[in-house]
Amino acid sequence: KDPILYDFIEKDLQDGEKILRHVAEPLMTQAEECLSQVDALSDGGTAGEGEDSGLKMAKQKLVRIESSLSALLLEEFFPQREEVCTRIRKLQEDLKRRGIVAVELDPREALRKSLVDGMSEEEEKILSDGGKAFYAMVHERGQPRWGPRRDTREEALKDRKKLKRACLERRLHECMMNMKQGGE
């Protein structure tokens, strides 16, 4: 059974003009404000550990904004105008040039990048964590549900078959608990 696709996924997120007006532009405006704040608070060099909390907060906010904007570069999910992509890439280059590195400022960013990379390579509803681990995925009432970590794609594919069957039989929770405890 296919997942429930809500209107905002099928229509709004496919409307490049809406994404530009309601997502990209507000985020770019916030990024410009944060960059001005970073410039005003910076002493010209890199502040390091003793960095002012306002400066650190502005840099962390920039990292979160850049993370959100970088998701819009995934063309297979979000159709974008070239000028929007160009502005996002320019911001990314500016942050890199200023030494504002996402992974250093927000450890969640490394995990997010790994997940996004894996999801963009997703096949057969199997998520790969950089080839180190594999997870089966099924939808239950419009919600994605993930199987346990597996060492091989083949194991995850077997899990997916079990999870799909369990969904049809309305015993997904039980099946997932058994998998996590080493059963099934």
- pLDDT digit string (tens) for 13-29? 677 788 888 888 999 99
Q: Give the SS3 label for residue 55.
A: helix
What CA–CA distance (Å, rounded) separates 69 from 88?
7
Q: Is the pLDDT of residue 32 over 90?
A: yes
Take residue 130 and report the two structure tokens written for it. Answer: 């950089």
Asked if residue 65 lies in contact with residue 31, where contact means CB atoms within 8 angstroms, the answer is: yes
Q: What is the C-alpha to C-alpha distance for residues 139 and 137, in angstroms, rounded to an integer? A: 7
Counting residues of the chain whose pLDDT is more than 90, the rounded percentage is 26
* Mean predicted confidence (pLDDT) in 106-127: 67
Query: Parallel, antiparallel, or unpaired for β 143-146 and 134-140?
Result: antiparallel
Neighbours of 38 (CB within 10 A): 19
The more confidently predicted of residues 104 and 49 is 104
